Structure 1
Amino acid sequence: MASGTGNRRDLTQGPITRTLLLFAVPTLLSNVLQSLNGSINAVWVGRFLGESALAATSNANLVMFLMFALGFGFGMAATILVGQRMGAGDVEGARRAMGTAIGLFALVSLAVAAIGWIVAPGLLRALSTPPGAEVMALAYLRVIFLAMPAMFLGVLLAMGMRGTGDSITPLWLMMLNVSLDAGLNPVLIRGLGPVPAMGIAGSAMATLIANYVVLLAAIVVIYARDLPIRLRGRELGFLVPDRALLRTIFAKGLPMGLQMLVFSFSGLVMIGLVNRAGIHVTAAYGVAQQLWTYVQMPAMAIGAAVSAMAAQNIGAGRWDRIGRITRAGVITNVAMTGALVALLLLFDRPLLALFVGADSPAVPIARHIQLIGSWSFILFGVTLVLFSTVRANGAVVAPLLILCASVFVGRLAFAWALLGRFGTDVLWWSFPLGSAISLVLAVLYYQRGTWRTLHLGGDRANMREQANATAEPGGRLNPSG
């Protein structure tokens, strides 16, 4: 094995379903741990500081998701570039793509942290954050903005590892993150021993410390294990963003980032509508979202696996495997997500009570939300698998348009038009309606769209030739997802 290919898994060989699961399961465990971390922290906040604090973190976390949406698309584009080049045997090309992405993310994340600190009060006011939660939400959100550089770069490094076929190392790093964040939360919230009590800001500070420690650990691991995305010697020059790669990352990443912004905008509008119903409904919705993160985890992991497998197989010219990868992803997602939805509906009361206590008036509201909205994530998962496949070949505009139709028509227009007449149930029913619209349109595009014919910048031989053409940036590959 060539130097620098460390933990790489070749996703172009072997039985498809088995390869998919071997890649997806560590990613799923990483996602579960990440969600578990958020849930544990919500338990600490809800139990120690009350429902107002829990509502504050729900509002602040939505703003944080909005910030991540700004960089998500560019990270996805870079990841698919890495995957395609690894599939083509172009390790240096993968490092060029990763170096450009790291340089870009470092600058963007620092800007987001600085601007976010300044505009945080205005963002919370725009959300109609309940008055009882606004002060705590601001204290929490400002510390979270300071953690943004480590979060951005840590997520990018994990995505880059998965693009090379390594889903194990990100799992170990997530274990470290969860251990630190969840363990430090009660210490910093309540103040144990010599540590002063910081209240809700302590929860955010635990997240900050955990993410900076994990980022440092990730860098150490990448070099100690000689993973494919490591940069040494002259390769460190790849951290200066390459113009050709930046054009590709922006051209393909912008539509994917806009998709996340559409989700964020929908979430902002939704939380604004929910906030008007009172603090108990806001807390119930926040708790329901905590459980929904688990329901989404299989789809997210399988989507990441499908994307990585499709990108490597496209880079290797193995189009004969693309349809089978997609079918395996859809079947696996329906089975896993369906099982989780069933378990959630069977055991929702004790799970919800973990966050706000069994006697909280938010519990029956949250149970009702779960009953209406949870099954929509089965549809969401199938759509995500289809999107993951077409994005791996550079098709990013159609998924954006489909998402806009499902969000603006199926969710927001539906909610705005009928909320006054039918009450808050309209908000919960907008989830399955939007998911159904996106699934129908995604299936039609996958079956009849032109995504298979998109130009990816050359065949495998051309990619390998470009791996040696290091002197002329304009001559390098410009594909992506």
Structure 2
Amino acid sequence: MASRPTARPGQRDLTSGPIASTLLAFAIPTLGSSVLQSLNGSINAIWVGRFLGEDALAATANGNIVLFMLLAFVFGFGMASTILVGQAFGRRDVAEARRVVGTAIGSFVPVAAVVALIGWLTAPHILGLLGTPGDAMPLALAYLRVIFVAMPAALMMTMLMMTLRGSGDSLTPLWFMALSVALDSGLNPVFILGLGPAPALGIAGSATATAVANYVSLFALLAYIYARDLPLRLRGPELAWLRPDPARLRVIVGKGFPMGLQMIVITSSALAMLSLVNREGVHTAAAYGVTQQLWTYVQMPAMALGAAVSAMAAQNIGAGNWDRVSAVTRAGVIFNVVLTGALILLLTVADRPALALFMGGDSPALPIARHIQLVGTWGFLFFGVSLVLFGTVRANGQVIGPLIILFISMYPVRLGVALGAYSWLGADALWLSFPIGMVTTMLMAIALYLHGGWRKGRIGPTPPPDEIECREQAEATREPGGALNPAG
């Protein structure tokens, strides 16, 4: 007989009441979680840039984007696990939720361990493929190898946090994310400089802090899950469910592959762009890495709004309230223009002090970073519109359309502009390719929303996505920026 789970906290009815205020109230908590997650990468970049200089900053930019892509590969499967856990809790079948968690952990953690080992051994070749500048290569290698050691813990933390959200527990992931951020940010100067009994590890010290934070937070989270006897823990005979079940694994892979592939498209495009940036030298690579930190924050309002729009649209589609679906989308677009536009304006006015936080006011990379920010940041206004429209069409099960659009805008358009216009624009072709690609994404997203036939999708017997699924889908569509981990 199915167990009865506790009520899911924070669940709300999005099919009635005022649209604008409900949408904003739903988006703000997601925005706060994203800020906390990205703050970790920013603080670490400040430590590295101030203590070790531009070479080290360029090295971390190369290392972090490799880890982001590897985690992105399994993020879609984690999201699929989250959906299945949420569905099981909706049926009040805790045993099924535990089986899903067991299959997910039992499948992907061993894969992560193997990938980490291979990555550690092949790190020089990976950095060579990225075209890492020669001055930054030894630093990047030292950093990336330790990051690979941290990867299994980072993956398991991401998987556990996502499945906890699927069970309705949004607070536990937030607390342990905060613990990881505090440890990582606090230990960075300790291991970089060798404070107290700690050895001075330089750039490897930053990665060591990340590894320590990930493993300590993971073990603390596991201890908390068992101490509080949270519903997803496995005990006794249930531990056998860590042996992957083929049927459940097929569902996880089948549902997770499109979203994982979408993140691979975005991050592989970012890797290709990084290889082009690295050709410009270490100062430009460092400037680009710092600009990515700011871009992480610029896209946060749109990510949160995309998640909120997706959740509200899903509930209203399920209720047959199509007029509200259109109104929700319009409100999301308006809020995005106001909030993202305000951030872009603020950074345009105060770009120098914001960028100087990472590299110091007298850094030779600072003028380059200011130029990149001025040329490229405005495109996020249009990318935010795309996220809102994608959120709506995904709410009715359309995931292939956004994937195709992102592939076109990231590869033929963005990389095509970066390569094709380089001979007459120089490095500016790289920076202009971002807004040009984002405007293209928006135009295709509008066409999909207006003429894509997504309204004709069949809802049931399959229910529309719930709040948890929609949030993970919206957070998956993002530029890697300065974030170390995907949203999890």
Which residue does the alignment assign to 2:476? Answer: none
Q: How many pairs align?
A: 462
1:123 equivalent to 2:126? Answer yes
Q: Following superposition of structure 1 onto structure 2, how do residues 215-364 of structure 1 map, counting pairs within 5 Å? A: 215-223=218-226, 229-231=232-234, 236-307=239-310, 322-364=325-367
CA drift at 1:439: 1.2
**Per the alignment, in what secondary structure is the counterpart of residue 433 of structure 1?**
helix
| Range moving further from structure 2, 301-310 or 405-414 | 301-310
Which residue does the alignment assign to 1:473? Answer: none
| Range moving further from structure 2, 449-458 or 271-280 | 449-458
Q: Which runs of 5+ in 1 are unaligned?
A: 462-481
1-structure distance, mates of 2:232, 2:181: 24
Which residue does the alignment assign to 1:468? Answer: none
Q: Give yes or no for contact 1:303–1:388 (8 Å, CA) kept in 2.
A: yes
CA drift at 1:416: 0.9
Change (3 A) 1:359 1:59: same
Which residue does the alignment assign to 2:9? Answer: 7
1-structure distance, mates of 2:322, 2:356: 49
**Per the alignment, in what secondary structure is the counterpart of residue 374 of structure 1?**
helix
1:372 equivalent to 2:345? Answer no
1-structure distance, mates of 2:123, 2:334: 42
| CA deviation profile, 1:6-47 (whole Å, cap 9, x unmatched) | 535245566455554444323322221222211111111111
Q: Give yes or no for contact 1:88–1:316 (8 Å, CA) kept in 2.
A: no
Change (3 A) 1:114 1:318: farther
Which residue does the alignment assign to 2:421? Answer: 418
Q: Give yes or no for contact 1:23–1:165 (8 Å, CA) kept in 2.
A: no
Change (3 A) 1:17 1:216: farther
**Per the alignment, in what secondary structure is the counterpart of residue 47 of structure 2?**
helix
What is the one-letter code of the residue matched to 2:9?
N
1:74 equivalent to 2:56? Answer no
Q: Following superposition of structure 1 onto structure 2, how do residues 32-71 of structure 1 map, counting pairs within 5 Å? A: 32-71=35-74
| CA deviation profile, 1:420-472 (whole Å, cap 9, x unmatched) | 111111111111111111111112222322334445672569xxxxxxxxxxx
2-structure distance, mates of 1:449, 1:243: 34
Q: Following superposition of structure 1 onto structure 2, how do residues 102-141 of structure 1 map, counting pairs within 5 Å? A: 102-141=105-144
CA drift at 1:360: 1.2
Which residue does the alignment assign to 2:146? Answer: 143
Change (3 A) 1:13 1:287: same
Q: Give yes or no for contact 2:4–2:92 (8 Å, CA) kept in 1.
A: no
What is the one-letter code of the residue matched to 1:338?
G
**Per the alignment, in what secondary structure is the counterpart of residue 197 of structure 1?**
coil
Which residue does the alignment assign to 1:400? Answer: 403
| Range moving further from structure 2, 218-227 or 27-36 | 218-227
Change (3 A) 1:82 1:18: farther
Q: CA RMSD in A?
A: 3.0
1-structure distance, mates of 2:329, 2:237: 39
1:391 counterpart (382, 391, 394): 394
2-structure distance, mates of 1:381, 1:214: 32
CA drift at 1:320: 7.4
1-structure distance, mates of 2:277, 2:104: 37
| Range moving further from structure 2, 367-376 or 218-227 | 218-227
Q: What TM-score do the two structures reach when normalised by structure 1?
A: 0.86
Change (3 A) 1:129 1:227: same
**Per the alignment, in what secondary structure is the counterpart of residue 375 of structure 1?**
helix
Q: Give yes or no for contact 2:124–2:141 (8 Å, CA) kept in 1.
A: yes
2-structure distance, mates of 1:312, 1:159: 21
Q: Give yes or no for contact 1:12–1:318 (8 Å, CA) kept in 2.
A: no
1-structure distance, mates of 2:451, 2:442: 14
Change (3 A) 1:132 1:357: same
What is the one-letter code of the residue matched to 1:277?
E
CA drift at 1:52: 0.6
Change (3 A) 1:351 1:51: same
Which residue does the alignment assign to 2:432? Answer: 429
1-structure distance, mates of 2:415, 2:198: 45
Change (3 A) 1:55 1:86: same
2-structure distance, mates of 1:321, 1:227: 37
Change (3 A) 1:33 1:284: same
2-structure distance, mates of 1:187, 1:440: 48
Which residue does the alignment assign to 1:467? Answer: none
| CA deviation profile, 1:238-270 (whole Å, cap 9, x unmatched) | 544333332232223222222212212211221
Change (3 A) 1:460 1:174: closer
| Range moving further from structure 2, 46-55 or 220-229 | 220-229
1-structure distance, mates of 2:437, 2:204: 35
Q: Which runs of 5+ in 2 are unaligned?
A: 465-488
Change (3 A) 1:460 1:408: closer
2-structure distance, mates of 1:243, 1:308: 30
CA drift at 1:172: 2.0
| Range moving further from structure 2, 324-333 or 112-121 | 324-333
2-structure distance, mates of 1:224, 1:357: 45
